[in-house]
């Protein structure tokens, strides 16, 4: 049942077995995982069925260095479906090595192993509509695929792993009907404002929530799960200081620390000496109709030997802003910049001003590339705009064998990279967040060394050259700042409350019935985009909650 909290009489008290806060990828997956349990599940969502400016504005906050981090209300959506409503759809599982404590990645190591998550990846893949859980091109495809780079020596990088693309699935639209199960109640426009604890601080007794219309209500439940995202969860824990003076789960000042996104950028120029037509940088479509893309992934044994974080790279079109690429489609995209959303435009275009001479050059490219542009426009209309499963991104095949390198790397957990509270408050009286995102020298080392290995492999293989300025790596890897809207690690799981916020079951240390879900609990970021693992971990949590003994509560 889906209803609106604005219609509740003021001071209503609701009862449930499980109360979930936040209807995004984590909250919806968790509710779906509990839908057959027979327990009564109450899912509180701040937003409505569509984006609403006043609700979205509740995400407004402060960024210490705006050059390194996007505004706090970008890359996340406060509405039914959460940020899946603007999701790009890239699904990638974590690798087994990501779960290990690595001496060269400070603060790394999960309290659970890969196998613990792997049990839930197939079901997570289904929920994300990314086909069967097989991320190796050699086994996922029964037909032979065109080699990505024929003759490339894969001693450091493998071209076998791939990413799969969701439709992308908007969890609100997709699971709306399934969430209408009789034991699930979804309450829209319900903003959590207070987590009430027992006097000893060991249990949550109730949640208090308000709507922007002014009415308030409370929820009593056996268990409470915050699925509000890696930033908002920090805010909710830190804002509640009436029992625990530093905030819930924050006796050791860990909440909000270790904040990670991903380190990403576009680098240099690859010039293939092999026939350009033999290079493949596009998507392969699986039998189930899933768009899959291979990439160059740094092998785990190389990561260990070289002491690097995880790193993947894709062949990318040349830098759009520089018209010397001579490509009409890229120049046309540049000219269409005002029509592309902030989240995607940020990566496609740089903020450096473009000269009038370059503008003229772009227009010349557009004029000369008109037939290609028409073909591209038709492809994007048919395969992206009108298609139910959307072509995931702009892929430009180079006729001359010229590409840039698009990379996506792990960010090292660092306690100094953090999310905290500012002094000013939102219209509901909640303190706003302040983000101080930082990276460390290990992050620069991972990217620098990986690029150097790739450059060496290209040359040694005799397939072409990769030219870039090694002195420019740090500038390029931080050009987009904290990348991807992936809010990771702020309420990390671990064995000790001194270095983590939750235990391996995602329960907040010292609070018997408060759980957290989402990428905030990931202790490390991997190179992988987080959504698939968020869903897998939420399904695992659903199983754990159902296994608990509630007799006597």
Q: What is the binding site for another protein (CB under 8 A)? A: 129, 167, 173-178, 285-289, 387-389
Q: Do the Cβ atoms of 161 and 294 come closer than 8 Å?
A: yes
How far apart are CB 162 and another protein at their closest, in Å?
Answer: 15
Both structure tokens of 272: 């293939």
Nearer to another protein, 389 or 432 (CB): 389
Nearer to another protein, 142 or 547 (CB): 142
- Beta strand 12-21 pairing with 216-226: parallel
CA dist 113 and 363 (Å) reads 53
Nearer to another protein, 87 or 175 (CB): 175
How far apart are CB 288 and another protein at their closest, in Å?
Answer: 5
* Preceding amide of 168 cis, omega within 30: yes
How far apart are CB 290 and another protein at their closest, in Å?
Answer: 8
CA dist 28 and 444 (Å) reads 36
Nearby residues of 373 by Cβ (< 8 Å), 6 or more positions away:
328, 329, 332, 366
How far apart are CB 383 and another protein at their closest, in Å?
Answer: 11
Nearer to another protein, 180 or 202 (CB): 180
Nearer to another protein, 115 or 177 (CB): 177
Nearer to another protein, 174 or 299 (CB): 174
How far apart are CB 140 and another protein at their closest, in Å?
Answer: 13
How far apart are CB 285 and another protein at their closest, in Å?
Answer: 5
CA dist 509 and 494 (Å) reads 9
CA dist 378 and 367 (Å) reads 17
CA dist 170 and 388 (Å) reads 12
How far apart are CB 78 and another protein at their closest, in Å?
Answer: 23
CA dist 330 and 337 (Å) reads 11
Secondary structure (DSSP) of 79-108: STTGGGGG---EE-PPPGGGGS--TTSTT-
Q: Do the Cβ atoms of 109 and 101 come closer than 8 Å?
A: yes
Nearer to another protein, 78 or 390 (CB): 390
CA dist 282 and 217 (Å) reads 51
Nearer to another protein, 287 or 467 (CB): 287
How far apart are CB 225 and another protein at their closest, in Å?
Answer: 24
């Amino acid at each position: 049942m889906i209803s609106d909290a604005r219609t509740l009489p003021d001071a209503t008290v609701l009862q449930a077995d499980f109360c979930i806060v936040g209807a995004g990828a984590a909250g919806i997956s968790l509710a779906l995982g509990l839908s057959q349990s027979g327990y009564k599940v109450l899912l509180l969502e701040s937003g409505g069925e569509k984006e609403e400016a006043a609700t979205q504005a509740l995400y407004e906050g402060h960024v210490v260095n705006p050059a390194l981090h996007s505004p706090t209300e970008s890359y996340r959506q406060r509405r039914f479906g959460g940020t899946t409503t603007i999701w790009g759809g890239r699904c990638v599982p974590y690798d087994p090595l990501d779960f290990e404590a690595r001496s060269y990645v400070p603060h790394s190591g999960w309290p659970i192993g890969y196998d613990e998550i792997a049990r839930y990846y197939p079901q997570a893949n289904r929920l994300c509509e990314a086909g069967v859980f097989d991320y190796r091109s050699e086994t996922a495809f029964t037909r032979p695929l065109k080699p990505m780079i024929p003759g490339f020596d894969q001693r450091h990088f493998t071209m076998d792993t791939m990413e799969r693309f969701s439709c992308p699935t908007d969890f609100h639209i997709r699971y709306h009907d399934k969430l209408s199960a009789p034991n699930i109640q979804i309450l829209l426009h319900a903003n959590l404002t207070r987590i009430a604890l027992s006097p000893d601080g060991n249990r949550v007794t109730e949640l208090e929530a308000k709507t922007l219309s002014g009415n308030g209500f409370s929820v009593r439940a056996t268990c409470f799960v915050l699925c509000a995202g890696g930033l908002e969860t920090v805010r909710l824990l830190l804002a509640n200081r009436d029992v625990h003076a530093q905030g819930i789960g924050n006796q050791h000042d860990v909440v909000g620390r270790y904040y990670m996104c991903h380190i990403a950028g576009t680098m240099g120029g690859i010039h293939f000496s092999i026939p350009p037509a033999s290079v493949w940088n596009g998507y392969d479509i699986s039998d189930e109709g899933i768009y899959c893309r291979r990439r160059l992934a740094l092998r785990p044994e190389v990561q260990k030997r070289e002491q690097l974080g995880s790193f993947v790279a894709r062949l990318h079109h040349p830098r759009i802003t520089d018209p010397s690429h001579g490509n009409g489609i890229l120049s046309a995209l540049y000219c269409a910049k005002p029509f592309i959303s902030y989240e995607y435009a940020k990566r496609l275009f740089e903020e450096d001003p473009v000269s009038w001479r370059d503008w003229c050059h772009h227009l010349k490219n557009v004029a000369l590339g008109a037939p290609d542009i028409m073909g591209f426009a038709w492809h994007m209309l048919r395969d992206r705009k009108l298609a139910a499963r959307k072509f995931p991104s702009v892929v430009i095949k180079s006729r001359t064998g010229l590409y840039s390198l698009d990379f996506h790397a792990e960010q090292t957990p660092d306690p100094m990279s953090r999310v905290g509270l500012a002094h000013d408050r939102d219209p509901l009286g909640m303190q706003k967040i302040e983000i101080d995102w930082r990276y460390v020298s290990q992050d620069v080392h991972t990217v620098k060394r990986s690029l150097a290995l790739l450059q060496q492999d290209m040359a040694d293989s005799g397939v072409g050259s990769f030219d870039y300025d090694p002195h420019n790596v740090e500038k390029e890897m931080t050009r987009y700042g904290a990348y991807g809207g992936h809010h990771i690690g702020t309420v990390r799981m671990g064995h000790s409350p001194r270095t983590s916020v939750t235990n391996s079951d995602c329960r907040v240390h010292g609070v018997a019935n408060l759980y957290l879900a989402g990428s905030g609990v990931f202790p490390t970021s991997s190179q992988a985009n987080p959504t698939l693992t968020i869903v897998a971990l939420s399904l695992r949590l659903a199983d754990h909650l159902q296994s608990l003994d509630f007799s006597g509560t």
